[in-house]
Structure 1
């Protein structure tokens, strides 16, 4: 597939859509659709429909059940045990028995058509994310989705165009919340002008890919695709600190993958040499490195490795005044002129404390109903801040922290990296989903 194919929609519909003339923040979206002037109504009930209630879906369901004023009148799931567990949880939370949608993999369409909902919560396998979001948006509902939001650029453009036509958004807000302390360091100019960031999704998922009760559909992606297949978790930190779509934008990338041997070896060691996956050809390289350059000259090294034995990834950010290495155990920093020893790391503990973001400092949500959160995620007893802000956006009828432009841009790195790998690491241009508005958009989390 050529760059021309990827660019064919790049300049499509560059002017505003015919939507009545009024716009918000230069995005070509009618003011009345977004309801930016609507004042908050704290007592407003929020009605959510859930599509996909496996590990992550059950986690999100339990988060929602613990928030006052959130109702769940409808759920959709293929596996009966998951569907009825979710039904039981909803009933045990004191809510009416939800309507069940279980007539096959596309029954989400019926849910979106029949239910009166504020938003649809999407936690399915990847291929259904964009279709479910589009079904919600086209039926007067917002969509909050697990990552990645899209698998193809065409899906990305369709989501953008549907938002601009309907005012209903799709967001990868469920994928977590960015490191606000890191963002505060950058915005307070501790590190100077940012030049380079490096991180990635580096997480050993061999067992998960072969476990029928986990996410075995991930294994088929490894069979069929080769690139950076999961960019959004690192992007939730990278894009805000680089002002992507908010003063800067991604320009182009190159991507390269290693050979693929680890899944075959894992299958042979766990299940024997005769297991079909012990010899099956895998497209996905065990390690992928993608280099991304922004219009303003910043560089990103984005890594992807779900096949080799390793600890989880760290995050490195280099500026003109210093460098910060965020690690899950022992974060380090070096600031020129401030660190006690020249060209030597010091502990980042005091900086992490000093630069804790006010949004995090001041986050004190109401006590959750139901105690610790169940499902794949954590045992927290406090509503996660991304969920708190999601519900606030729905109540206030405003955009979520990650709007459709940011969400689509983040996930688009996946198909673009595949295109580069397929062309022997040829440079691939990255579409501007904001259609030129990135220069004017206010910073994310501002």
Structure 2
């Protein structure tokens, strides 16, 4: 760590053991009004030194994608299992890139933060580690990017927000679905006034993961299945919520006010556990457990009186859907099961739909969209997200997704659990912006002065990257 950074952190009280706790941050930093991270532009970083933690389901794909971005150097890799680090190293070396410093073991990530001077810590671990790792990454002097959700409790989500404000380090939740083509095009159409005023929006995560959640080779130590036992609510709201929240200017002109969550009983997971245990004793520990219900429906009302519906079902045998429905005073759009836009009772014809796509594709899609599809990652939206993040850091630009976005979208997890436990009673949603939503500006759909981050040629033909599921 260089002297200037160390001196700054010492002055901020963030390197002493006494200042690492949340109460210290609250007492020392937040006696005065909070620093607003919305619209915040951190100093430019010419070469972004990246560390990636978690190399199971999502991490290897992140290594692969970021390795194509010039100006991003993957300098450290960390996972509980050393063999996963070794496997991820081959993604770099096949492309002629230098091996990253390897860290492993339960506390390998802590050692990494102490040893490395990092600009960005990219977190792809099980959910329970997202908030603690992001907090410590920011305290160490790095920006943080974490897979969804940002946290599992309201208190730890608040700590993420306050740590970001105290350190003036970005913490972006890696909500890749905000970078889907249809999501970005309809967002641009909303911004251009084609929908009039949005009244209602819907999103979802409907994805049959029953077999994967019970797979011994799926999630490490069956962590995702265990989360479906510990928490009874909407465990994965942000893929559906993030894109519609941007369309409705949540945290920058409006805010989510309160929610109600209703959930079915479990009709799938308990039976599946019993069936598996009948032939494999490994599954005995899951027999008789109370699993979360199959379908969770969470209804949200905003401060300005608009409504949102978010669904979550990862066990029912039905087609994948994130819904992405927008209903305004002038137009309607829905992504699944077929991309549809209507300005009245009838959907526009396919030829006209393509004209709308061509006309309202934002600059980001036109600039990087085709290259993103070649690199891959959920049709390219993962790569657009990663490239955009690196480009913003290199050019000192505000991020598309603020810490307040990640916080408010993630808070639906614990708040829906509370509502379900209270027989679907109303639960208030905290205002993580502390009133700044009234004046925060929506994020810019243009490159905003960036766009100079190049992409390395795709030279490797044999990809040894585990397919990710999200």
Q: TM-score, normalised by structure 2?
A: 0.80
Contact preservation (8 Å) 1:66, 1:383: no
What is the alpha-carbon distance in structure 1 between the residues aligned to residue 286 and residue 168 of structure 2? 48
**Aligned equivalent of 1:3:** none
- Say if 1:353 and 1:270 are closer, same or farther in 2 by CA, change over 3 A: farther
Contact preservation (8 Å) 1:365, 1:383: no
**How far apart are 1:152 and its partner, in Å?**
0.5
**How far apart are 1:73 and its partner, in Å?**
1.6
What is the alpha-carbon distance in structure 2 between the residues aligned to residue 278 and residue 13 of structure 1? 41
**Aligned equivalent of 2:30:** 17
The partner residue of 1:186 within 161, 186, 190 is: 190
Structure 1, unpaired ranges of 5+: 1-8, 337-342
**Aligned equivalent of 2:94:** 92
**How far apart are 1:112 and its partner, in Å?**
1.2
What is the alpha-carbon distance in structure 2 between the residues aligned to residue 35 and residue 201 of structure 1? 32
1:361-391: CA deviation from partner (whole Å, max 9, x where unpaired)? 43238979xx9658xx4576x9821111111
What is the alpha-carbon distance in structure 1 between the residues aligned to residue 198 and residue 261 of structure 2? 22
**How far apart are 1:291 and its partner, in Å?**
0.5
**Aligned equivalent of 1:134:** 135
**How far apart are 1:14 and its partner, in Å?**
12
**How far apart are 1:266 and its partner, in Å?**
2.6
1:114-135: CA deviation from partner (whole Å, max 9, x where unpaired)? 1011100100010001111011
**Mean Cα displacement is larger for which, 358-367 or 310-319?**
358-367
Q: Secondary structure at the match of 2:320?
A: coil
**Aligned equivalent of 2:74:** 72
**Mean Cα displacement is larger for which, 220-229 or 258-267?**
258-267
> Alignment length, in residue pairs?
412
**Aligned equivalent of 1:47:** 49
**How far apart are 1:71 and its partner, in Å?**
1.3
**Aligned equivalent of 1:246:** 252
What is the alpha-carbon distance in structure 1 between the residues aligned to residue 354 and residue 243 of structure 2? 15
Contact preservation (8 Å) 2:244, 2:326: no
What is the alpha-carbon distance in structure 2 between the residues aligned to residue 364 and residue 318 of structure 1? 29
**Aligned equivalent of 2:361:** 357
**How far apart are 1:181 and its partner, in Å?**
0.8
- Say if 1:136 and 1:192 are closer, same or farther in 2 by CA, change over 3 A: same
**How far apart are 1:60 and its partner, in Å?**
0.5
**Aligned equivalent of 2:340:** 332
What is the alpha-carbon distance in structure 2 between the residues aligned to residue 424 and residue 55 of structure 1? 35
Q: Secondary structure at the match of 1:308?
A: coil
The partner residue of 1:211 within 197, 211, 215 is: 215
**Aligned equivalent of 2:204:** 200
1:291-313: CA deviation from partner (whole Å, max 9, x where unpaired)? 00000011011100001000011
**Mean Cα displacement is larger for which, 316-325 or 53-62?**
316-325
**Aligned equivalent of 2:60:** 58
Contact preservation (8 Å) 2:333, 2:341: yes
Contact preservation (8 Å) 1:249, 1:432: yes
Q: Secondary structure at the match of 2:367?
A: coil
1:185-234: CA deviation from partner (whole Å, max 9, x where unpaired)? 22222222111111211111101101122223110011111111101111
**Aligned equivalent of 2:293:** 285
How big is the alpha-carbon RMSD for the aligned residues of Structure 1 and Structure 2?
3.0
Q: Secondary structure at the match of 2:234?
A: coil
Q: How does 1:385-404 map to 2 (within 5 A)?
A: 385-404=384-403
The partner residue of 1:83 within 82, 85, 109 is: 85
**How far apart are 1:395 and its partner, in Å?**
1.0
- Say if 1:140 and 1:60 are closer, same or farther in 2 by CA, change over 3 A: same
Q: Secondary structure at the match of 1:110?
A: helix
Contact preservation (8 Å) 2:375, 2:383: no
Contact preservation (8 Å) 1:175, 1:232: no
Structure with a larger share of its residues in helix? 2
**Aligned equivalent of 2:115:** 114
Contact preservation (8 Å) 1:118, 1:394: no
1:260-302: CA deviation from partner (whole Å, max 9, x where unpaired)? 1201233344553785377423241111001000000110111
Q: Secondary structure at the match of 1:55?
A: coil
What is the alpha-carbon distance in structure 1 between the residues aligned to residue 214 and residue 67 of structure 2? 31
Q: TM-score, normalised by structure 1?
A: 0.84
What is the alpha-carbon distance in structure 1 between the residues aligned to residue 314 and residue 350 of structure 2? 28
